[in-house]
Structure 1
Amino acid sequence: MTIEHIEDLKVYVQVIDSGHLAAAGRVLGLSATLVSRRLARLEAALGVRLLTRTTRRLHVTDEGKVFYSRCQRILSELAHAQRELLPTSNEISGTVRVVLPTSMLSYGIMDALNDFMLHNPLIVIQVQISDEPVDLLAGGWDVGTHIGVPNDSSHIGRHLGAVSPKIAATPEYLARYGLPESPLELSQHDCIRVVRRGVVHEYWPIIDKQGEVQKVPISGRLICHDFITLYSAMCAGVGIGLIPLAALRKAQAKGELIEILPDCRIEGVTLYAIIPAGRNKLPRVQVFVNWLRSFMETLDV
């Protein structure tokens, strides 16, 4: 059998939200008996048990929990789609769910996001900061980021810009161990390494003053998985690390970090916004991604 009544999904979600059949019925304007019948019809269509019921409590099965999460997203998207079709709806509204890398914090993303929300008062932003891979589809996310051209055909990629980090360390570290004067001298220092896509970086691709790329082997006893940890470790004097220019400027202003080998640069990476196919056509998502691209273009990163 197949689900033929969207109202059954609304009943199911309301029952879980209310915690009781009678309470859900009062919200929906239905009798507890009718609520029970619609739940039974839904379970019969799915062929699985969603809830177990006693005289006092409802217990959601594992299958029911997964289905509840899906139903929430389905009903939310349906509501947004209906609002967007209203001829009187001139302003873009709804929730944009976003996963951003921790390095975005160093770019001043939260200050900029505040400005975005002031200019888009009907848009709600749900944001998660993470450097770990996230399943956008499974998590119900609208926008994520990806280093390099995305190769997942189920997602749409939008170019945001290139990121070229700087080499830096604290004045105390450099006073203790010396200032590297050439890229290869970095191999003799404690360099804070990072993990990307499960792989620990063992070298830095440094472009010297002549424009030649040198793959400089690096070593160090600290390995970080996110920018916040990396930045904190660098400011604590643990070693030399790579940092976005925007973050370096702030640290330099506070006297926390000093740029190393300013005449050299690191091979940059290209950052893309990735959007699950279909969501890229939602006006609220389009507005956010366009804003994110404009924000990145204002940064000298």
Structure 2
Amino acid sequence: MDRFENMRIFTKVVEASSFTTASAGLGLSTSMVSQHVKQLEERLGARLLNRTTRRMGLTEVGRAYYDRCKRLLSDLEEAEAAVGRMQVAPRGDLRVNATPVFGVLHLAPAVADFTARFPSISIEVMLSDRIVDLVDESFDVAVRVEPLPDSSLVARQVASCRMVICGAPAYLKKHGMPRTPADLANHNCLTFTGTSYIRGAWQLGSSKAEALEVSPRGNLRSNNAAVLLLAALEGQGLVALPTYMVGDAVKSGRLRTVLDDYAPPPLTIRAVYPHGRHLSAKVRTFVDFLAARFGREAQWEGRPKTSGTTAACQGSRKHRGKGAIHVKKAA
């Protein structure tokens, strides 16, 4: 008799607390069920069940063996299900959440290509700055840059990006190039006021591997990073934004990065989904697609054009509308 079949029948007998009840559920005769259990006990050389005419119970060895059997059978079932999923074309409705800027600039083109490749999947994309509750709000996947607050979620890295400080060439020509974080006090800094990994205080590194926190000052604040990006492109000041937002502008020279020697650690972009024993084909396929599309060096991470030390960027360091700037070591 097959060993896994013996184990499966043994667990059914334990859960039914009766050979007769288990045999009815399994569609086997009581004598056949008893034979399976007997063969297990003979192979193991140990009694698994104490049986009387009125009741049946597990021995101490039987309890330990039952627990192991449950785990093994569960793993076997999951392995077989995984093979089955590989043979099934992904289909169904998929609800995806992402931040507005990443969603518009990068996720939307990816979704268009994905639905063209997998027409049996219908996608609803919802964009929001807040961190949604995937389970309560019925989202299958979220694409997030923020640190993960919920350890029950499964997260897979699909890309990385950097936070950079940058400004338009015309702005740098007029107001000069900051060489240290303290020089930001002489610049108009465009700041973010929302709740996001893009913070009002700018997180920087240093040559001594110390974390620095800069409290910038300027005449424009917004809870929408796109507003700050447009202002920076118009030469209104310096802005600290992720490369997935400013990468194209930096590569084309419309923006130039500054203080590159003080860059903070890279950010991680993740596909996040609720934990499930069996990941659906549609979610698995979508996450695999994002990882393949963005996993290599992302297009926004091309080498930036820095401002250098040219005379054109050595203009006046004075700019109206600013105040003292506070630089401190981050905790």
What TM-score, normalized to structure 1?
Answer: 0.60
Aligned to 1:226: 224
Aligned-partner SS, 1:237: coil
The residue identity in structure 2 corresponding to 1:207 is G
Other-structure match for 2:118: 120
One-letter amino acid of the counterpart of residue 218, structure 1? P
Correspondence for 2:206:
208
Equivalent of residue 267 in structure 2, options 260, 266, 269: 269
Tell me the distance in 1 between the aligned counterparts of 2:277 and 2:220: 39
Name the larger-Rg structure: 2
Task: Provide Cα deviations, 1:60-112, integer angstroms capped at 9, x if missing partner.
Answer: xxxxxxxxxxxxxxxxxxxxxxxxxx99x842111211111234257633333
Tell me, in whole angstroms, the C-alpha distance in 2 between the residues paired with 1:296 and 1:237.
30
Q: How far 1:247 moved relative to its partner?
A: 4.0
- Percentage of identical aligned residues: 26
Tell me which residue corresponds to 2:127.
129
* Contact 2:229 2:246 (8 Å CA) reproduced: no
Residue 102 of structure 1 contacts residue 228 of structure 1 at CA under 8 Å; is this kept in 2? no
CA deviation digits over 1:239-289, x for unaligned, max 9?
211233344342145542122133441333333322134497111011112
Residue 248 of structure 1 corresponds to which residue in structure 2? 246
Unaligned runs of at least 5 residues, structure 1: 1-85
Which of 290, 293, 300 aligns to 1:292? It is 290
- 1:238 — aligned with what? 236
- The CA distance in 2 between the partners of 1:148 and 1:132, in whole Å, is 10
In the alignment, residue 228 of structure 1 is paired with which amino acid? A
How much has 1:142 moved relative to structure 2?
1.2
Once the two structures are TM-superposed, the CA of residue 185 in structure 1 deviates from its matched residue by 0.9
What letter is aligned with 1:284?
A: K
Match of 2:177 among 157, 176, 179: 179
2:170 touches 2:235 (CA, 8 Å); kept in 1? Answer: yes
The answer to whether the 8 Å contact 1:203/1:215 transfers is: yes
Closer/same/farther in 2, CA of residues 90 and 99 from structure 1, 3 Å limit: same
Task: Output the CA distance in 2 between the equivalents of 1:231 and 1:117.
Answer: 30
Tell me the CA shift for residue 195 of structure 1. Answer: 3.6
Any stretches of 5+ residues in structure 2 without a counterpart? 1-83, 302-331
Residue 164 of structure 1 contacts residue 268 of structure 1 at CA under 8 Å; is this kept in 2? yes
**Local SS of the residue matching 1:150:** coil
The 3-state SS of whatever aligns with 1:152 is coil
Q: Is the 8 A contact 2:96 2:126 kept in 1?
A: yes
Specify the SS of the correspondent of 2:189. Answer: coil
Classify 1:246/1:162 alpha carbon distance in 2 versus 1 (closer, same or farther; 3 Å). closer
Residues 116 and 226 of structure 1: CA distance in aligned 2, closer, same or farther (over 3 Å): same
Cα 1:279–1:107 shift into 2, 3 Å: farther
- 3-state SS of 1:275 partner: strand
Q: Distance in 2 between matches of 1:270 and 1:194?
A: 20
Once the two structures are superposed, the pairs formed by residues 122-201 of structure 1 within 5 Å of their partners are 122-147=120-145, 149-197=147-195, 201=199
Contact in 1 for aligned 2:164/2:241 (Cα 8 Å): yes
CA distance in 2, matches of 1:212, 1:241: 22
Say how many residue pairs are matched: 216
Change (3 A) 1:196 1:266: farther
The answer as to whether partners of 2:146 and 2:196 remain within 8 angstroms in 1 is no
Once structures 1 and 2 are overlaid, which stretch shifts more, 281-290 or 109-118?
Answer: 109-118
| Alignment check: 8 A CA contact 1:103 1:228 kept | yes
Q: Given the two structures, how large is their TM-score scaled by the length of structure 2? A: 0.55
